[in-house]
Chain A
Amino acid sequence: MKILIVEDEKALLSTVGNFLTKQSYICELAENFQTADQKVSIYEYDIILLDITLPDGNGLQLLKTIQKYNSKAGVIIISAKNSLDDKINGLDLGADDYITKPFELAELNSRIKALIRRRQFNGSSLVAFNEIEINTDSKEVTVKGNKIVLTKKEYDLLLFFIVNRNRVLTKEAIAEHLWQDNIDLADNFDFVYTHINAVRKKIKQAGGNDYIKTQYAMGYKFTDS
Chain B
Amino acid sequence: MKFLTKVNRTYFILLIAMFFLISVISYFVIRKIIEDEAKENLTERVAVIEKRIRESGILPDIYPIVKARKVVRTENIAKPFATVFISHETNDEYQKYIEYRTISKINGNYYLITVRQSVVENKELLLTIAISLFLILLLTFTITYFLSKGLTRKLWSDFEFNLTQIEDFDFNKKEKLLLRNTSIEEFNRLNSVVMKLTEKLEKDYHNLKEFSENASHELQTPLSVISLHLEEILQEDLPRNISEKVYSAYQSVKKLSKINQGLLLLTKIDNRQFTENESLSFMEILRNKIEELNPLVQSRQITVETKIIDDFVVLANSQLIDILLNNLLSNAIIHNLKNGFITIKLQKDKFTVCNTGKPIGFDNKTIFKRFTKGDSGSYGLGLAIAKRICKASGLDIEYRYEENRHCIIIRKNQ
Contacts and interface: CB of A to CB of B under 8 A. Distances in A.
Nearest to A11: B225
A151 B251 CA distance: 28
Interface stretch (B26-34, B47-55, B326-334, B361-369): B326-334
B300 A191 contact: yes
B9 interface: no
A46 interface: no
Interface in B202-223: 217-218, 220-223
Interface stretch (A130-138, A178-186, A203-211): A178-186
A15 B229 contact: yes
Interface string B248-269: 0011011001100100110010
A167 interface: yes
Interface stretch (A36-44, A77-85, A116-124): A77-85
Given A80-B221, A151-B295, A16 B264 contact: no
A167 B377 CA distance: 27
Contact of A83 (B234, B253, B268, B293): B268
B261 A181 contact: yes
Interface in B306-351: 319, 326-327, 330-331, 334
A102 B319 contact: no
Contacts of B76: none
Interface in B77-136: none
A153 interface: yes
Nearest to A79: B220
Contacts of B218: 80
A179 to B, nearest CB: 8
B306 to A, nearest CB: 19
B247 A9 contact: no
Interface in A163-207: 167-168, 170, 172-173, 181-188, 190-191, 193-195
Nearest to B322: A182
B326 A172 contact: no
A96 interface: no
Nearest to B338: A190
B316 to A, nearest CB: 14
Given A15-B225, A101-B224, A184 B243 contact: no
B188 to A, nearest CB: 42
B330 A101 contact: no
A209 to B, nearest CB: 22
Contact of A195 (B224, B299, B334): B299
A185 B334 contact: yes
Contacts of A16: 228
Contacts of B225: 9, 11-12, 15
Interface residues of B, number: 50
B376 A102 contact: no
Interface in B223-246: 223-229, 231-232, 234-235, 240, 243-244
Contact of A183 (B227, B253, B326): B326
B292 interface: yes
Contact of B220 (A11, A80, A170): A80
A25 interface: no
Contact of B234 (A15, A102, A218): A218
Which of B240, B244, B247 gathers most chain A CB within 10 Å?
B247
Nearest to A15: B228
Contacts of B251: 172
A101 B327 CA distance: 21
Contacts of B258: 184
Interface in A97-114: 100-106
B299 A191 contact: yes
B360 interface: no
Contacts of A190: 299-300
Nearest to B331: A184
28 contacts: A9-B221, A12-B228, A15-B228, A19-B228, A80-B218, A83-B273, A101-B221, A102-B223, A102-B226, A105-B228, A168-B234, A168-B235, A172-B251, A182-B292, A183-B326, A183-B330, A184-B258, A184-B382, A185-B330, A186-B376, A186-B378, A188-B377, A191-B295, A191-B296, A216-B244, A216-B247, A217-B244, A218-B243
A106 B296 CA distance: 22
A104 B227 contact: yes
A172 B248 CA distance: 12
Contact of B221 (A12, A19, A105, A106): A12
Contacts of B243: 216, 218
Given A12-B224, A105-B231, A184 B240 contact: no
B379 A184 contact: yes
B231 A170 contact: yes
Nearest to B330: A183
Nearest to B318: A84
A182 to B, nearest CB: 5
Which of A11, A82, A102 gathers most chain B CB within 10 Å?
A102
B299 A194 contact: yes
